[in-house]
Structure 1
Amino acid sequence: MTTNTNNSRGPARATTVRNGAVELAVFEQGNPDGPTVVLVHGWPDTHRLWDHVVPLLADRFRVISYDTRGSGRSSVPTSVSDYRLELLATDLLAVVDAVSPDEAVHLLAHDWGSLEAWEAVCSPGAVGRIASFTSTSGWCFDHLGHWMRRTLRNPTPAGVGKVLAQFAASFYAVLFHVPVVPEFVTGKVIAPRWPRFLALFDRMDPALALPSATIARDAANGIKRYRANTLDRLGRPRLRRTDVPVQLLVNTKDKAVLPFGFEETRHWVADLRRTEVPSGHWSPLSHAPDVARHTADFVVDVISRSAADGAAAAV
């Protein structure tokens, strides 16, 4: 089974990966001999979020994308508890193990895909399976929760202002806990007008939007991610550290994920790079060349440093 893409190397090869009762639709493109980069989309997108990015990576990298559970061609569990971050991370790791069992992969993730990837890279054994992680428009919820708690315990006008600004920007996540209404608004009102919504919210060319045929269902179903994780993770943040090299692509015009939410990420990540992109929230659509370039540069740098460390250890 294949699906058409803009990739000059031809159509994607579509397969499935099973994680327990969940089947994930996985798509392979690009250079089969290059390093493997796994792309993880967020809400309410599918793997098509990356259609502008993939052609820019395809000549150098083997590119894997997939529909996360509850979206696109993948399984759609019905229970809210089926969308806990720890389960979403096992989906990602199942894809990693299936597509690259013998070599660690590089991750690029957006929005909820970033939250899922953070959960994976902060898990035991991540270093041997994930070589690097580039995150755009997505925190580790636990890191964000600790930042908020520390800021409010030692309040300053600037610090409290930042927390309140992020709370205001994310207030929709609170509203998503109201029964029934969010599913109707996102699935029946916003999703059918997705290009217009992106034009208003992100000031981007609506022609760049890539809504899937399942966007109405995916938008409504994706509310379960918020209900399963937001209050628990922010209210009871865990200690989550990682030795996986991480690059933050901080979108300076993002209205949902404000840049100062990453101020303390360095305390949790041993090897952190912060790169700013003059983009709104949906940078993989509006600023695909920037996202692809910074990701490729980071992957190449991590590979070069790993090779240098290996050579030094062999001496």
Structure 2
Amino acid sequence: MQAQTHWILTQDQQKIFAKTWGKPEKPALVLVHGYPDNQEVWEPIIEQLVTDFYIVTYDVRGAGQSSVAKRIRDYALPRLSLDLECVVNELLPNRAFHLAAHDWGSIQSWESVTEAKFKDRILSYTTISGPCLDHAAFWMRDQFLNEKSKFFKQLFKSWYIVVFQLPVVAPTIWHFFNPDRWGMVLSQLEKTKDLPLNPNISKDGEHGIALYRANFAPRLLKPRQRHAVCPVQAVVLKRDKFVSPELIDEMPKWVADFERVEVDANHWAVLSRPQEIARYIAEFANKKQG
């Protein structure tokens, strides 16, 4: 596969490294990666989709080759949404596009999916293991009041969020990871050998911690009512060790056109089950061409 590379300047003067794949005349599809990954995590899926879509990927701020913002508040969800806007305005000017995202890419993409300015611009959204933090906060409150077992189940799965708030310990942890060690972790989680390695894992992990620090407390303490402006498909990973599938139950309250599919896989299904994930993304996008 051959990609065209691009550098995009954001509104706050950060540099975003992006790539485009395929033929521009095809329907546009933007893929947003999660944590602690960069845009390379999508390449097994791009192989499946590049003949049918014009694909845009980019390293979110703090990941891959994109610049690292210095202040924690520069990783807040509204700022990340502006980054997506800068990318699509530069690479897909005056074009509508489909959107798919994983993990933190999905969490941050919800900010755009629930913004009025993206209505009719985002044709469809496939979310994988990344709920809207506002929706999750409402769900957690409801479970605490009515079904505490589900509340504590998700709280237990989210232990790492507390660790990532520690100012020195959290970044230092990532200094002990190299690509091979991280690859071993992924292989154990996914029960799949020889998954693609991330050569930048130490830096991606260290800098991306700012995503947690900038967003979890504000959103969970003061959730906003956020309604989707486009059709949404949730790809539910039934063995996800970090995101409870039950969180998806909250989505239909906020999405008028909602569908869900289930995959018998763990959190990094984008690596361990790329053909299946790609098929779900393509099928949903083709139904929602507008």
Q: Shorter-chain TM-score: what band? A: over 0.9
Spell out the pairing of 1:51-70 with structure 2 (5 A cutoff). Answer: 51-70=43-62
2:285 is aligned to 299
1:4 is aligned to none
Asked if the contact 2:116–2:229 (Cα under 8 Å) also holds between the matched residues in 1, the reply is: no
| Residues 251-307 of structure 1: CA deviation (Å, up to 9, x unaligned) | 11110011001111101011111011111000110010011100000011011xx3x
Counterpart residue identity of residue 17, structure 1: I
Give the whole-Å Cα distance in 2 for the aligned partners of 1:236 and 1:261: 18
Give the whole-Å Cα distance in 2 for the aligned partners of 1:274 and 1:263: 10
Deviation at 1:190, TM superposition (A): 6.6
The share of aligned pairs that are identical, in percent, is 37
1:76 is aligned to 68
2:10 is aligned to 19
Give the whole-Å Cα distance in 2 for the aligned partners of 1:96 and 1:271: 23
1:310 is aligned to none
| Higher alpha-carbon Rg | 1
Counterpart residue identity of residue 74, structure 2: D
| Residues 93-128 of structure 1: CA deviation (Å, up to 9, x unaligned) | 111111212221101100000011101111121113
Counterpart residue identity of residue 211, structure 1: N
What is the RMSD computed on CA atoms of the aligned residues? 1.3
Deviation at 1:210, TM superposition (A): 2.8
Q: How many residues align?
A: 289
- Confirm whether residue 211 of structure 1 aligns to residue 198 of structure 2: yes
| Residues 164-207 of structure 1: CA deviation (Å, up to 9, x unaligned) | 111000111011111211111123247661101112233222x1
Asked if the contact 1:191–1:219 (Cα under 8 Å) also holds between the matched residues in 2, the reply is: no
Asked if the contact 2:49–2:282 (Cα under 8 Å) also holds between the matched residues in 1, the reply is: yes
Give the whole-Å Cα distance in 2 for the aligned partners of 1:244 and 1:188: 41
Give the whole-Å Cα distance in 2 for the aligned partners of 1:188 and 1:257: 25
Give the whole-Å Cα distance in 2 for the aligned partners of 1:302 and 1:243: 13
Classify the secondary structure of the residue corresponding to 1:230: helix
Spell out the pairing of 1:1-315 with structure 2 (5 A cutoff). Answer: 7=1, 11-20=2-11, 21-153=13-145, 155=146, 159-189=147-177, 193-205=181-193, 207-212=194-199, 214-303=200-289, 306=290
Asked if the contact 2:178–2:201 (Cα under 8 Å) also holds between the matched residues in 1, the reply is: no
Give the whole-Å Cα distance in 2 for the aligned partners of 1:125 and 1:89: 11
Structure 2 unaligned regions, length at least 5: none
Instruction: Report the TM-score, using the length of structure 1 for normalisation.
Output: 0.89
Give the whole-Å Cα distance in 1 for the aligned partners of 2:136 and 2:175: 28
Deviation at 1:231, TM superposition (A): 1.6
Instruction: Report the TM-score, using the length of structure 2 for normalisation.
Output: 0.96
Counterpart residue identity of residue 124, structure 2: S
Deviation at 1:208, TM superposition (A): 1.3
Counterpart residue identity of residue 51, structure 2: D
Classify the secondary structure of the residue corresponding to 2:25: coil
Counterpart residue identity of residue 76, structure 2: R
Counterpart residue identity of residue 161, structure 2: A
Give the whole-Å Cα distance in 1 for the aligned partners of 2:69 and 2:263: 35
Distance 1:257 1:148, change over 3 A: same
Classify the secondary structure of the residue corresponding to 2:172: helix
Asked if the contact 1:45–1:218 (Cα under 8 Å) also holds between the matched residues in 2, the reply is: yes
Give the whole-Å Cα distance in 2 for the aligned partners of 1:201 and 1:263: 24
Classify the secondary structure of the residue corresponding to 1:222: helix
Deviation at 1:151, TM superposition (A): 2.3
Give the whole-Å Cα distance in 1 for the aligned partners of 2:112 and 2:229: 12
Asked if the contact 2:46–2:55 (Cα under 8 Å) also holds between the matched residues in 1, the reply is: yes
Structure 1 unaligned regions, length at least 5: 1-6, 307-315
